[in-house]
Structure 1
Amino acid sequence: MAKVGDEALSPSSCPPWEVADPLSGGQARRERLPVPLTRSRRDQPPGRGRRRRRGVERETPLWLSEDDLQKMQLLASGQVVSKTRIPAHGQVMRVGLQLVGDAKGNVLPASPERDCQDGRCGLIKRPGDLYEVLAFHLDRVLGLNRSLPAVARRFTSHLLPYSYTDGSLRPIIWWAPDLQHLEDANNDQNSCALGWLQYQDMLQPHRLTLMAGDAPCSRIPHGEWSRLALFDFLLQVHDRLDRYCCGFQPDPSEPCMEEMLHEKCRNPEELVLVHILVRRSAPSRLVFIDNAGRPQHPEEKLNFRLLQGIDSFPAAAVATLRSGRLQSLLLESLRVDRELWESQGGAKGLIPLLQTIDRRARILLRYIREHNLTVFEDLPW
């Protein structure tokens, strides 16, 4: 998907997703011409399928929509034409992007705000957040469709600081222009303020009809929380439903320990959810952001608190987990991102990560069986 560098790193020289210095001992890579979306021809997987897309050189998986592919192409190949720092977010940069031949971009001078309102911006994150790209593909393979498009890319633009152009592979995530943020500067990473106890009460069946129309997050249906819980459990994303690490015993190096958040677990009334976001264009549909998760989180410390209060899960996602084909479907999807694929050594380097997700999937399926939980059919949007 993204452009290919001069050499691919083997799994032994660069452990998967630990890419703070992926070019250790080497020189920064020269920029090449953008490589179009690509997809090798393979046998069609039963029940999922592929098709030839207009404007795409090869076939791509059906679960990646035309809109996904267009945004991925922008993120992978768009020229950086503007940049904006994101306050209080460290090594995160919002950039305006322009594809070669973009008539509108060629006529108008670069403007960060206009570029972003037109959907032509991306958020460059830290090399250590590369797992977000895998999270995007997991979201699409499972049919959740709640994450924003993401690709892996190396940057060379003179507009960016050297730390962004030193050859490191970074994730870039599409910037949704209509994400709804609270006006509270201390809580601007939410569309609505929701405490843990409120959240648990909202999940109770009797609350489905009794929720007040002006209650926090009242427009978000029950099924959205089920999708979020399933997704976060597979990735072990704690910084959303359990930023305090109340669901497992954290190591002293965990941010929740360093920031003394874990101590608040003693008082559930103080616990709040974070990164609960919707778009103005779809206020009843959650948007999953900051999905880097924890690929190395030990199995004996899996956070089952993420599943608390959830009594059903989306049928299509559960069927995919039960199929035994999650790893092969993810490999098929990840192959589209050529930069990511080659930097990790292809399937050989990616399989250990996918095996971890697959084991978590089997644990989740066992949890569903043991608790007699149900599945629900997704409604068309």
Structure 2
Amino acid sequence: MGLKPPAPAALGVLLALALLALAHLPPLPDWSPRLPPTSLPVAPQQKVATLLSGGQARSQRPSMPPVRLQRDQPPVQGRRRWRQGAVGNAPPWLSDDDLQKMWLLASGQVVSKTHVPAHGQVLRVGLRGVGDAEVGVSPASPEEDCQDGRCGLIKRPGDLYEVLAFHLDRVLGLNRSLPAVARRFTSHLLPYSYTDGSLRPIIWWAPDLQHLEDTNNDQNSCALGWLQYQEMLQSHRPTPVTGNAPCSSIPRGEWSRLALFDFLLQVHDRLDRYCCGFQPDPSEPCVEERLHEKCRNPAELVLVHILVRRSVPSHLVFIDNAGRPQHPEEKLNFRLLQGIDSFPGAAVATLQSGRLQSLLLESLRMDRDLWESQGGAEGWRPLLQTIDRRARILLRYIQERNLTVFRDSPC
């Protein structure tokens, strides 16, 4: 006997009961992929501050987790993404290359260390970027790291002035100093004195600096005496020493940049390591090492830290820029300017603008640890005012002697 089909009313009742039963079933497990919370986007400005302060950015706003590279993301892509985000917020005088090196110095993991002969507390360290560590790149030898441009020099806490010098160099458009940041280190590879919480400068290690083979004069790319240097400046020829390859391509404008930079910072070690341009205190190294006595015989005076890179032999490289922030104005060393009859136009224009202090403050904010170590803008002002006064003295020096400025060539 065949069954009769249910009436329409009965079908409606059955359908309602089925829907009611489904509504009370427990939820199915969620098998969809979930992104970890660390993949949340971070505002470019916050990311710059985080990276340049070694991952310790301080802010009154609730902190967001930092961006971390995914396992399948090449580290180069991650760095490029960071640089593109940072450039829009960084001052225009800091190049993309500057920011990349500053990021490496500020946040790179220390993977090796080497003592630098005859340089006391200076350590050369190999660095790995965050992306390199996460994709499992194994550390190479220290020499290979440095040849790849992934090394830095950690200096003494008293050398933090070198980081200010780097920013001054970029603000003035000289672009001859090596990138530098301030950082606190925690690596177990370093001696305790480096990990005790003190802030130290770390300067990028240029792998192609040209050094003389003479072990007694290896901090120069060429041997140049004071009398030779003055003769070269007066002769208006680009070659200071005939047949000396490393210095034969250094144009006169490079010495003008160096003189201006050293005068503002009062760095004596390059052009006047004997302190012949002022009366030094008895505690000065040039007195203790009896170098000052040689001022009576100019033929014995030599220039030190005159360096170029093999990749750009026409440009001087400014190293060891920890000048003298407290050097009194009555003892300013004008010997550093001797023989210089013209100065770079862009740098002079910046000094004349009256904005030197504000530009330096804008640049120094990029280095969060250094910025906060001095108490922010108010803490930095006395030091920047000293440099600004030296700038006005230099401008008066240029005006009184009717010296000229020259147009800067592309760097």
User: TM-score under structure 1 normalisation?
Assistant: 0.86
Deviation of 1:291 after TM superposition, in Å, equals 0.1
Deviation of 1:57 after TM superposition, in Å, equals 8.4
Deviation of 1:103 after TM superposition, in Å, equals 6.9
8 A contact 1:53–1:59 mirrored in 2: no
Partner residue in 2 for 1:124: 154
What SS class does the counterpart of residue 200 from structure 1 fall into? helix
- For structure 2, which runs of at least 5 residues remain unmatched after alignment? 1-51, 60-64, 69-81
Equivalent in 59, 67, 78 of residue 108 of structure 2: 78
What one-letter code is carried by the residue in structure 1 that aligns with 2:108? G
From the superposition, tell whether residues 306 and 34 of structure 1 become closer, same or farther in structure 2 (CA, over 3 Å): farther
CA distance in 1, matches of 2:171, 2:334: 23
What one-letter code is carried by the residue in structure 2 that aligns with 1:68? D
Partner residue in 2 for 1:275: 305
Residues 202-224 of structure 1 deviation map (CA, whole Å, 9 limit, x = unaligned): 00145458963447722210000
Deviation of 1:109 after TM superposition, in Å, equals 2.9
Partner residue in 2 for 1:144: 174
8 A contact 1:4–1:339 mirrored in 2: no
What SS class does the counterpart of residue 90 from structure 2 fall into? strand
CA distance in 1, matches of 2:223, 2:240: 19
8 A contact 2:154–2:202 mirrored in 1: yes
CA distance in 1, matches of 2:239, 2:119: 38
From the superposition, tell whether residues 127 and 210 of structure 1 become closer, same or farther in structure 2 (CA, over 3 Å): closer
From the superposition, tell whether residues 206 and 115 of structure 1 become closer, same or farther in structure 2 (CA, over 3 Å): closer
Partner residue in 1 for 2:395: 365
Asked if 1:3 is matched to 2:38, the reply is no
From the superposition, tell whether residues 366 and 97 of structure 1 become closer, same or farther in structure 2 (CA, over 3 Å): same
Partner residue in 1 for 2:26: none
CA distance in 1, matches of 2:55, 2:328: 33
Asked if 1:315 is matched to 2:345, the reply is yes
Deviation of 1:55 after TM superposition, in Å, equals 3.5
From the superposition, tell whether residues 186 and 105 of structure 1 become closer, same or farther in structure 2 (CA, over 3 Å): farther
CA distance in 1, matches of 2:199, 2:254: 32
CA distance in 2, matches of 1:104, 1:343: 31
What one-letter code is carried by the residue in structure 2 that aligns with 1:3? G
From the superposition, tell whether residues 206 and 93 of structure 1 become closer, same or farther in structure 2 (CA, over 3 Å): closer
Deviation of 1:5 after TM superposition, in Å, equals 5.8
CA distance in 1, matches of 2:276, 2:200: 30
Among all aligned residue pairs of Structure 1 and Structure 2, give the percentage whose two residues are the same amino acid: 83
Partner residue in 1 for 2:13: none
Structure number with the bigger relative contact order (C-alpha 8 A, sep ≥ 6) is: 1
Asked if 1:290 is matched to 2:320, the reply is yes
What SS class does the counterpart of residue 367 from structure 1 fall into? helix
Deviation of 1:379 after TM superposition, in Å, equals 1.2
RMSD: 2.3
Equivalent in 212, 218, 223 of residue 193 of structure 1: 223
8 A contact 1:246–1:265 mirrored in 2: yes
Q: Which structure shows the bigger proportion of residues in helix conformation?
A: 2
Partner residue in 1 for 2:33: none
Partner residue in 2 for 1:68: 98
8 A contact 1:3–1:35 mirrored in 2: no
Partner residue in 2 for 1:253: 283
What SS class does the counterpart of residue 168 from structure 1 fall into? coil
From the superposition, tell whether residues 149 and 215 of structure 1 become closer, same or farther in structure 2 (CA, over 3 Å): closer
Asked if 1:376 is matched to 2:406, the reply is yes
CA distance in 2, matches of 1:168, 1:111: 28
CA distance in 2, matches of 1:104, 1:148: 27
CA distance in 2, matches of 1:62, 1:93: 31
Equivalent in 292, 296, 303 of residue 333 of structure 2: 303
What are the equivalent positions in structure 2 for 1:42-57 lying under 5 Å apart? 54-56=84-86
Residues 41-76 of structure 1 deviation map (CA, whole Å, 9 limit, x = unaligned): xxxxxxxxxxx9514286010000000000000000
Partner residue in 2 for 1:339: 369
User: TM-score under structure 2 normalisation?
Assistant: 0.79
Asked if 1:114 is matched to 2:144, the reply is yes
What are the equivalent positions in structure 2 for 1:115-264 lying under 5 Å apart? 115-208=145-238, 212-214=242-244, 217-264=247-294
From the superposition, tell whether residues 258 and 4 of structure 1 become closer, same or farther in structure 2 (CA, over 3 Å): farther
8 A contact 1:178–1:281 mirrored in 2: yes
What SS class does the counterpart of residue 304 from structure 2 fall into? coil
8 A contact 1:4–1:35 mirrored in 2: no
From the superposition, tell whether residues 70 and 322 of structure 1 become closer, same or farther in structure 2 (CA, over 3 Å): same
What one-letter code is carried by the residue in structure 2 that aligns with 1:191? S
Partner residue in 1 for 2:126: 96
Residues 323-352 of structure 1 deviation map (CA, whole Å, 9 limit, x = unaligned): 000000000000000010011100011010
Deviation of 1:4 after TM superposition, in Å, equals 6.7
- For structure 1, which runs of at least 5 residues remain unmatched after alignment? 9-32, 37-51
From the superposition, tell whether residues 210 and 369 of structure 1 become closer, same or farther in structure 2 (CA, over 3 Å): same
What SS class does the counterpart of residue 358 from structure 2 fall into? helix
From the superposition, tell whether residues 367 and 102 of structure 1 become closer, same or farther in structure 2 (CA, over 3 Å): same
